[in-house]
Structure 1
Amino acid sequence: MADLFPDLVVNGEVVPRRLVAAEAQHHPAPKGKPGRAWRNAANAVAMRTLLLQEARRRGLRPDPAEVGPGRFETEDEALIREVLEAAVTTATPTEAEVRAEWQRDPGRFRSPPLWEVSHILCACDPRDEAARTAAHARAADLAQRAVADPGGFPRLAAAHSDCGSKTAGGALGQLGPGDTVPEFEAALRPLGEGEITPAPVLTRHGWHVIRLDALAEGAMLPFETVRPKIAEAMEKAAWARAAKTFVAQLVASAEITGADIGSAKADE
């Protein structure tokens, strides 16, 4: 890499290559393009260096915050947070602005839906290729039979499912978002009432044939209920825009060699 890429220099400060090399581990490169990881790492390190330089210019001192039980920011992380907190300010959205955002599409704000669901499970360990293949063949046959005879779904579940719900004809009762594993929920969401997944769905438990027995769409929430969340989202979006502008100004006024921050070519 030393022959391919020049030293990274940010406003006259030469950044040790070991820092770029360490950062490059977090930037996987496509096959045949090993230089991309180094370029992206150099950009990331250059940006971090710019922010740390700005923190020093402002005379900031690191005060690491706790980011988890017993885990604290590094001093560099604390300085970057502090310089952004000092430099980036945004106005709280007004009541009229929050209401206008809600009125733009009130249908976005609903209570969670409820699904009444039945399934047939062909259990397997997905990491076991032979077991996964065999369970898939069994599930595919059951899915075909279920789609051909929707009314016979409870009998199929009772006879063939590996889930304890077989005693109830495969019925899982009412489920809401987050009540099932992500793959199951993703397959469930597009279904209409009475529809059955035409192909088996793989989760960590095995292959599922899923039927949506009933759907209760979430009710539209009134403005008063969702106002705090809308205001918070608007504040975060405004802060992100302001932070992007601040960083762009730092880049525009900096002298940098060995990186191409802001260049579209960095991610090609």
Structure 2
Amino acid sequence: MSTKTIQQDLGYSEYRIDSDVIYFKPDSAKSEKTFAEEIQHSLNQAQKFISPKFFYDKTGSMLFEKICTLPEYYLTRIEIKILKELKRDLLEYIDKKFRLVELGSGSSTKTRLLLDVFDKIHDQIEYMPIDISEIKVNGAIITPDEVAREMQFHAADSQEAAMHKSSEVLIVQLLLLQKAREMGLDQDLPTESDIPSEETIISRLIEKEASAQEVTEEECHRYFDANKDQFFSQDLLELKHILLGADPEDKDKRAVAKEAAESLISRLVESFDEFEALVNEHSDCPSKETGGSLGQITKGQTTPEFENAIFELEEGLAKEPVESRYGFHVVYVDKKLPGKQLEYEHVKSDVAKMLMELGQRKAIAMYIHNLVDEAD
């Protein structure tokens, strides 16, 4: 039976921490009960018990670490013995892309044995211990699993930073939902909508409690006068080119393409009248059907490396080939029109919209700040 089938049979859900890190856990709806239900169930058994997970607060975790070292507690010793015996065998299963992710890392005593194995084949060890405690917000609980699921949506320089950001997002979302429900904004929700109900509830709250305020003509004019450098039309180029195509991974072909582009530039310096004929004969771009013309281009319309190069050019034939991911380009700039200062009348509606958006962001940030201050 495949791993996937086993996971499906057990009702497991897949949680992606990042593009290379996935873990599986039984669906919370199937596996989790409330604290009261679990305690009631466990104490009603013939052999009464309480789940160990309820002991693992800070003090409980410290006590467990001590228990693991007792002579009576043989499990840790057996696990360490197994890991020591498997150290050699593990090497053949670990490649350069391998990461070690430990959910509920504790003291990481046994993990150090695995890190010793990594050290033999890796110059740099990528180890991610994840130990998340549940978070309480006004009596409601955000579980470690919820934080781990949220982490996939927050790219960060470290797992710790992603975990912190995910926790913040979930806390704010829960506070907003609690406030909205307290105000009765979770009633009469649309039954047929692609928008999640929680998003609708929060939108209602924001609209009622932190909506954008109208801005005056005077405020708009004052902002424009203080920030005129933000209000320019875009630079515009009108150009044509000849593309000598070459795959970015094929160094030999790119060298040949560059040399060919340099040769074409030399010919065009002597006789530019040949440009259209050379386009038809050599260009690998569909623009050869229009004489190599790319029309009018503003920033953001082409690849970054090509854009950066062509906007530095002056009108006329470029003296050197322009390199891009597609190959080497022989470029001729027909016109270069620099951006111009825009008049207030042309942009006042954009200024008003921007100021309203800024105002709403500030209002929302202040509202959330107040909710956090009032929360338990």
Same fold (TM over 0.5): yes
The superposition leaves residues 21-70 of structure 1 with CA deviations (integer Å, 9 ceiling, x where unpaired) of: 2112223454xx444433322222112111111111222126778xxxx9
Task: Write the letter of the residue equivalent to 1:151.
Answer: V
Cα separation, partners in 2 of 1:28 and 1:91, compared to 1, 3 Å: closer
How many Å separate the matches in 1 of 2:188 and 2:346? 37
Q: Aligned pairs, how many?
A: 243
Q: Offset at 1:116? A: 1.3
How many Å separate the matches in 1 of 2:145 and 2:200? 21
Cα separation, partners in 2 of 1:150 and 1:141, compared to 1, 3 Å: same
Is there any run of 5+ residues in structure 2 with no aligned partner, and where?
1-102, 107-130
Equivalent of residue 60 in structure 1, options 185, 191, 198? 185
1:234 aligns with 2:355: yes
How many Å separate the matches in 2 of 1:169 and 1:151? 18
Q: Offset at 1:239? A: 1.0
1:201 aligned residue: 324
Is there any run of 5+ residues in structure 1 with no aligned partner, and where?
256-268
Cα separation, partners in 2 of 1:163 and 1:25, compared to 1, 3 Å: closer
Q: Mapping of 1:106-185 within 5 angstroms?
A: 106-124=228-246, 129-130=249-250, 133-145=251-263, 151=269, 154=275, 157=279, 159-166=281-288, 170-176=292-298, 180=302, 184-185=306-307
- Residue identity over aligned pairs, in percent, reads 30
Task: Write the letter of the residue equivalent to 1:217.
Answer: P
What's the TM-score, normalizing by structure 2? 0.55
How many Å separate the matches in 2 of 1:248 and 1:165? 55
Equivalent of residue 199 in structure 2, options 77, 98, 103? 77
1:20 aligns with 2:166: no
Cα separation, partners in 2 of 1:44 and 1:151, compared to 1, 3 Å: same
Tell me the secondary structure at the aligned position of residue 350 of structure 2: helix
1:46 aligns with 2:182: no
Task: Write the letter of the residue equivalent to 2:373.
Answer: A
Task: Write the letter of the residue equivalent to 1:237.
Answer: L
8 Å contact kept, 2:237–2:335: yes
8 Å contact kept, 2:244–2:261: no
2:343 aligned residue: 222
In our comparison, the structure showing a higher alpha carbon Rg is 2
The superposition leaves residues 114-172 of structure 1 with CA deviations (integer Å, 9 ceiling, x where unpaired) of: 3111222133566xx34xx3443234324545677773673764543212544776333
Indicate the structure whose relative CO is greater, using CA pairs within 8 Å and at least 6 residues apart: 1
Tell me the secondary structure at the aligned position of residue 221 of structure 1: coil
Task: Write the letter of the residue equivalent to 1:81.
Answer: S
How many Å separate the matches in 2 of 1:207 and 1:180? 14
1:261 aligned residue: none
How many Å separate the matches in 2 of 1:38 and 1:107? 39
How many Å separate the matches in 2 of 1:214 and 1:64? 56
How many Å separate the matches in 2 of 1:22 and 1:5? 12
How many Å separate the matches in 2 of 1:29 and 1:63? 38
How many Å separate the matches in 2 of 1:102 and 1:195? 38
Task: Write the letter of the residue equivalent to 2:148.
Answer: A
Cα separation, partners in 2 of 1:160 and 1:19, compared to 1, 3 Å: same
How many Å separate the matches in 2 of 1:149 and 1:103? 50
Task: Write the letter of the residue equivalent to 2:167.
Answer: A
How many Å separate the matches in 2 of 1:108 and 1:19? 41
How many Å separate the matches in 1 of 2:266 and 2:244? 19
How many Å separate the matches in 1 of 2:313 and 2:335? 10
Equivalent of residue 247 in structure 1, options 368, 372, 376? 368
Q: CA RMSD in A?
A: 3.4
Task: Write the letter of the residue equivalent to 1:221.
Answer: L
Tell me the secondary structure at the aligned position of residue 141 of structure 2: strand
Cα separation, partners in 2 of 1:95 and 1:157, compared to 1, 3 Å: same
8 Å contact kept, 1:119–1:208: no
Cα separation, partners in 2 of 1:38 and 1:111, compared to 1, 3 Å: closer
How many Å separate the matches in 1 of 2:143 and 2:207? 27
How many Å separate the matches in 1 of 2:337 and 2:297? 10
Q: Which segment drifts farther, 221-230 or 112-121?
A: 112-121
